[in-house]
A and B are shown apart, each in its own frame.
Chain A
Amino acid sequence: MIIQLILTCFFLGLVIYGLISIQRSQAIAYFLIALSVCGLFFVWQPEVANSLAHAFGIGRGADLLLYSWFLVSSSIMLLLNIKANKLHQELTDLARSIAINNAKNPSNPSDFQ
């Protein structure tokens, strides 16, 4: 019962965060809310998780949730990595522009003609 209350508070917090973030990014907000609602449902209806697990060939509902969480978090990490790469590319372009604008000409150009 205690863990159910703790998890309920956690998922409700995620729902509130999702609602606040709707204006910033709708897709992520709705995904977060959907995930939290599913989480809340399985916290209070664990027998449904067990039935679903059996349908997937898994022994326990908790194991199903664990595997699902692994898939979701791995996908999130991959997407974050792609996002980080894009930001890094933008930073590179900015640094390049600054560097080229401040390029130094050779000290004695006539020596090298």
Chain B
Amino acid sequence: MEIFWRTIINRTDAWLSVYLYWRNHDGLGKKLKDSTSWIVIAAYNEGSIIGSVVRNAHIRFTNVVVVDDGSRDDTGAQAHQAGAYVISHPINLGQGAALQTGISFALSKGAQVIITFDADGQHDIADAFSMACRLREGHLDVLLGSRFLGKCVGIPIIRRYFLKLAALFTRFTSGVKVTDAHNGLRALTAESAKKIRIRQNRMAHASEFVDQIGHLKLKVAEHPVSITYSAYSLNKGQRLTNSLAIIVDLFIGKIGK
């Protein structure tokens, strides 16, 4: 009996591999590139890594735009050299503002699918590609990456529990069932990108994004993604003490409407 089930599982894995290979390669075995989806990367002082992130993104995507958010190093130049469209903010406005700039630019260039991607190298471009493919099936408006449904390598325990708490808070305030509310890997169709408007310039934009999805009643799902933490990305990441500032920003934002 055990041999029977092992055979079934092995054959299923084999067929799944064949299907994934067929979906991701053309007849000559060359990896397919997505030319109608746009990768949007918000970057601030990422000169040491942005080049490799852009080159990695170009393996699967033709169109990559990097929004240089007033960096003091050569982030813009490195991104341009790596082959990305580069938009440079004259002053530092925040990640939320940079993402909205990139989304607006991608829409002006006729993007059909827009994928936000972090600049610190912790995301896997294969996840972005599979999210774009899944969106093209037409059943969903937005896909949110979730490290807790996928894989999370090197995450400190405190951060893991803090992120789960943040997801609970977002579920409560937005009504959208999420397991990972602060994941920078998101995919949205052009129609939903036109409806969403990120007004929170700083880190509160992640919660605002989910709030707007709930408010606009967009069809949303989560997608398992891999996040690999490195010493570099941990150093650049959000401080846990920023959480209070995020809550205050969200509160002021709601009153100011």
Contacts and interface: CB of A to CB of B under 8 A. Distances in A.
Interface of A: 78, 81-82, 85-86, 88-89, 92, 95-96, 98-100, 102-109, 111-113
Interface stretch (B4-12, B22-30, B79-87, B179-187): B79-87
B90 A112 contact: no
Nearest to A83: B256
B199 A89 contact: yes
A75 B89 CA distance: 33
B189 interface: no
Contacts of A88: 201
Interface string B180-215: 000000000000000000010100000000000000
A108 B83 contact: yes
B253 interface: yes
Interface in B80-111: 80-81, 83-91, 93, 97, 100-101, 104-105, 108
A83 to B, nearest CB: 9
Interface SS of chain B: helix, strand, loop or mixed? mixed
A103 B86 contact: yes
B136 interface: no
Contact of A100 (B62, B80, B105, B253): B105
A10 B58 CA distance: 66
Contact of A99 (B80, B87, B201): B87
Nearest to B97: A92
B90 A95 contact: yes
Given A100-B101, A106-B80, A85 B252 contact: yes
Given A106-B84, A107-B80, A86 B90 contact: no
B61 to A, nearest CB: 8
B81 to A, nearest CB: 6
Given A105-B85, A106-B83, 5 more contacts: A99-B101, A100-B101, A102-B88, A112-B58, A113-B35
